[in-house]
Amino acid sequence: LMVAGNDLGVMPYGTECLHILRAEKGFIMIGDETDGTIIPQDLGLNWAISKKKDDYLGKRAQERSHMVDPNRWKLVGLETTDGSTLPDGAYAVGEGVNENNQRTMIGRVTSTYHSPTLGKGIAMGLVLNGPDRMGEVLDFPGTDGKTYQAKIVDPVFYDKEGAKQNV
């Protein structure tokens, strides 16, 4: 295959490349952007829930009060203000402290990469009311003592219209 595709610029790639490519397109990865607390609506996947069926697997769980709370952490894209890469798993902090006198957590990084295509760090994360906060800049204190700043953006960083897949 490599020889046959040489004229087309075919080259080997690894799994890290696949992770970066899927993040550039805003594709979620189960286990990164999801855990036992995330529902399709948090990821912008409302279309995946049948509107035609009276009942479906998971319906009762999705109707629980904490699942229908409008103030949930939802999927967003994150771009650092200086082009650096956010630390994986970093938490976004808000104003004030919680009842345990800890800084208020308003989001977290779920996937973070340097995108060679875009020439900057990109990340996906879950942020409190995230899609309603587009353009807002959040603080992410790192374990290295540095505070990273990232702007909330659309989780699709590359080819938003999908034109490249139709070449």
**List of residues 6+ apart from 75 with CB closer than 8 A:** 28, 33, 42, 43, 44, 110, 124, 125, 126, 130, 131, 155
The whole-number pLDDT of residue 74 equals 97
For a pLDDT cut of 90, what percent of the chain falls above it? 69
What is the average pLDDT score of the chain? 92
| Domains by residue range for the chain, with CATH | 6-157 (3.30.1360.120)
- Does 167 have pLDDT greater than 80? no
Going by pLDDT thresholds of 50, 70 and 90, the confidence category of residue 62 is: confident
For 2-14, b/e burial (b = at least 16 CB within 10 A) is eeeeeeeeeeeee
**List of residues 6+ apart from 17 with CB closer than 8 A:** none
pLDDT tens column, 133-160: 999 999 999 999 999 999 999 999 999 9
Token reading at 31: 């286990």
pLDDT tens column, 108-118: 999 999 999 99
Through-space distance between the first and last CA atoms of the chain, rounded to whole angstroms: 21
Alpha carbons 75 and 109: distance in angstroms, whole number: 10
Alpha carbons 67 and 42: distance in angstroms, whole number: 9
Alpha carbons 11 and 69: distance in angstroms, whole number: 47
Going by pLDDT thresholds of 50, 70 and 90, the confidence category of residue 37 is: confident
Q: Is 18 helix (H, G, I), strand (E, B) or coil?
A: helix
Query: Residue 137 — φ and ψ, nearest 5°?
Result: -100, 130
- Does 72 have pLDDT greater than 80? yes
pLDDT tens column, 1-27: 899 999 999 988 899 999 999 999 999
Token reading at 108: 């977290």
DSSP state of 105: E
Tell me the HSE value of 160 on the side-chain side, using a 13 A CA sphere.
6
